[in-house]
Structure 1
Amino acid sequence: MLARLITILCLTACFTLYSQEDTQPVTLEYCIETALQNNLDLKSSKLKAETSDVNYRQSRANILPTLNANYNLGLSSGRSIDPYTNSYLDQRLTYSNAGLRLNAVVFNGFRMLNTIRQNRYNLQAAEMEVKEAQQNLVLNVTLAYLQILNNRELLKQAKARTETTEKQLERLSSLYEEGSGNPADYTDMQGQEALDKTAVINAENNLKVSVLNLYQLLNIDDVPDTAFASLQALDDMEKYQLSAAEVMDDALANLAAFKAKELRLDAAKKGVKVARAGYIPEVSVFGELNTNYSSAAEFLNEIGSSVVETGDFVSIDGQNHPVLREEIQHEGDPISYEDQFNNNLGSAVGVAVNIPLFNGFRARNNVTLEKIKLEESRVDLENTRLQLGQAIEQAYLDMESAFNRYHILTGQVKAFEESFRVNEVRFNNGVSNIVEYITSKNNMDNARISLANAKYEYLLRVRVLDYYRGLGMN
């Protein structure tokens, strides 16, 4: 009850965050936490892990003896066998039987033990796949968050470009109205303003799309209009300390995706042993109790005797005399249901051996199929290792390239900013023309955009490398 109340309060707080006009900026940590709670792909992975857990627990329970009871009650008409006397009857009767059977497997080629181990490996692999899904989700949320910050920075620069152009356009408009300015400069600046405003529209759209992508990962339908907090790491542009080989070593030791493949391989090995148990005889012990009831069963009570002719004759002095005998008279009393069940109770114990002699090559084919699955698991693991190494090498090269471009572009931005400052002064004083001014301005703006992209690309590649190392990134 307390856990449910806490959950309700947390959800209420989340909705309150989006409903307030003056909200606090959404943080990366909040986005990750929300995604881990709401993402449908992650929930699907957890359900698969729960299924594996049930399979594992069931395989353990299969070692226990089985105990089953049966009970039948029926009505028979016409010629039938009396279950009480095993004699033929031609009457309507009610019959019933009940049984209890205990069966325990003593040996079956270690099939059940290997099945337990196989399902345990599958459970561990499923748990690792849940962790893999969590790591993938954290990575995707982080990259989406970084993309939002990058697009926000580009939008900010686009607006700054437009403001600068609008100020120049106002100055040229005044000169144009006074008749002292060059009309071509004014129209060229109008064209530049249109380009800058178009860039603002594109940047706004890119920002909205990146926000939408993030909230899709968070499984939130309505995208709120909210701010996003900056990351401290954006100010720390230190060179990555590890090599690609060190990242690969960490990945092989810690990455959940690779561990899951290893566990699937271990499970496939046990699967071959389970299939081979089909060649080995199975030994089990059993015990059972059985009883029955019939409405035709009755007790015969002696009520007297009578003399009756047997149908035979004895000849004495040429005269035939009938042979008589004394016959005891009986009266039948029905036997109660409970008495019959007690009187007819029987038991049996024994040992059963099931020897597989020929089963249509089923055992051999099962072993062959499991060997194929084993080889597929080996190939899958090796392919994962190969793809992982290639991805790490590519991410590492992209990270180094982004880091080097960032430092080169830092100097370029400073140079173009100084060039623009000089050209702006010259243009305002009528020393240089509009072409030189716009060229200088575009060079500075493009350099700033490239610098922002390089910075965010570097941080993105660092996050990817941390993911491969198996770090939580939260």
Structure 2
Amino acid sequence: MKKECGFMKMLPIALSVLCLLFSFSSQAQEVLTLEEALNQALNNNLQVKQASLQAALTEEDVKQARMNFFPTVNAGVDGNLRWGKSFDQLTGSLINQSTNSLNGSLNASASVFQGFARTNQVSANKYLLLADQSNIEKIKSDLVLSVVTNYLEALTNQDLLAAGEQQLALSQSQLEVEQINYEVGNKTLAD
């Protein structure tokens, strides 16, 4: 009777464990080839994306440094509309009037020589762009190396699992032989 009570207490726990095992085993994992894994890693890695964005920003800096050689032209238009009472100095009286005004401006500036600062800035930005592009390649190479290393580790672990399963089968067959020899009397319990 006590065994039944203990079994009844353990039944909900056993059912919960079974449900957990089935829920974990029912989740399918996608099997990827090495090439697919590399493509996914290169396309989805945040470090690669950040390095690419940094290179794009540096490329824009190079364009801006080149644009600084061109003259600067600014134009503006300002318009006013006023209405109400104002003092007329000719007649010495207040009059109601509206005034409209329109002003325009155009400014141009060109730097003649700044001691090669602009030329040096273009060169510096080009070198920064080359550094950013090589950084992208370094990050991609490191990522490829990491994925390939993990892939090879997985293959090695599969081989170790297969070898372990073979060793287990061999040990079980040896145990069966030793058990039979013990039961027949050819071996003692100490053997």
TM-score by length of 1: 0.30
Q: What corresponds to 2:72 in structure 1?
A: 66
Return the match for 1:147 from 147, 153, 170.
153
Structure 1 segment 274-285 matched on structure 2, within 5 A: none
Structure 1 segment 308-457 matched on structure 2, within 5 A: none
Corresponding residue pairs, total: 155
1:157 aligned onto 2:160? no
Q: What corresponds to 2:187 in structure 1?
A: 181
Q: Which has the larger radius of gyration?
A: 1
* Cα displacement (A) at 1:54: 0.9
* Cα displacement (A) at 1:79: 9.1
Aligned pair in 2 of structure 1 residues 181, 106: CA closer, same or farther (>3 Å)?
same
> What runs of 5+ residues in structure 1 fail to find an aligned partner?
1-17, 81-88, 186-474
Q: Deviations over 1:329-374 (max 9, x none)?
A: xxxxxxxxxxxxxxxxxxxxxxxxxxxxxxxxxxxxxxxxxxxxxx
Return the match for 1:101 from 80, 89, 107.
107
- Opposite residue 140 of structure 1, the aligned amino acid is S
Q: What corresponds to 1:34 in structure 2?
A: 40
1:167 aligned onto 2:173? yes
- Opposite residue 106 of structure 1, the aligned amino acid is V
Q: Deviations over 1:386-422 (max 9, x none)?
A: xxxxxxxxxxxxxxxxxxxxxxxxxxxxxxxxxxxxx
* Cα displacement (A) at 1:94: 2.7
Distance 1:171 1:132 in 2: 58
Distance 1:48 1:168 in 2: 63
Q: Percent identity among equivalent residues?
A: 34
Q: What corresponds to 1:133 in structure 2?
A: 139
Q: What corresponds to 1:124 in structure 2?
A: 130
Aligned pair in 2 of structure 1 residues 79, 67: CA closer, same or farther (>3 Å)?
farther
> What runs of 5+ residues in structure 2 fail to find an aligned partner?
1-28, 87-93
Q: What corresponds to 1:424 in structure 2?
A: none
Partner of 2:115: helix, strand, or coil? coil
* Cα displacement (A) at 1:27: 4.2
* Backbone CA RMSD of aligned residues: 2.7
Return the match for 1:113 from 96, 100, 119.
119
* Cα displacement (A) at 1:106: 1.2
Runs of 4+ in 1 over 6 A off after TM superposition: none
Distance 2:100 2:161 in 1: 89
Distance 2:109 2:165 in 1: 80
* Cα displacement (A) at 1:48: 1.0
* Cα displacement (A) at 1:119: 0.5
- Opposite residue 151 of structure 1, the aligned amino acid is N
Distance 2:72 2:140 in 1: 40
- Opposite residue 99 of structure 1, the aligned amino acid is S
Distance 2:156 2:85 in 1: 91
- Opposite residue 161 of structure 2, the aligned amino acid is L
Distance 1:182 1:74 in 2: 116
Distance 2:170 2:135 in 1: 52
TM-score by length of 2: 0.69
Aligned pair in 2 of structure 1 residues 147, 117: CA closer, same or farther (>3 Å)?
same
* Cα displacement (A) at 1:32: 2.6
* Cα displacement (A) at 1:181: 3.3
Aligned pair in 2 of structure 1 residues 29, 61: CA closer, same or farther (>3 Å)?
same
* Cα displacement (A) at 1:167: 0.7
* Cα displacement (A) at 1:77: 5.7
- Opposite residue 56 of structure 2, the aligned amino acid is E
Q: Deviations over 1:217-274 (max 9, x none)?
A: xxxxxxxxxxxxxxxxxxxxxxxxxxxxxxxxxxxxxxxxxxxxxxxxxxxxxxxxxx
- Opposite residue 60 of structure 2, the aligned amino acid is V
- Opposite residue 139 of structure 1, the aligned amino acid is L
1:49 aligned onto 2:28? no
* Cα displacement (A) at 1:143: 1.5
Aligned pair in 2 of structure 1 residues 184, 94: CA closer, same or farther (>3 Å)?
farther
Aligned pair in 2 of structure 1 residues 79, 178: CA closer, same or farther (>3 Å)?
farther
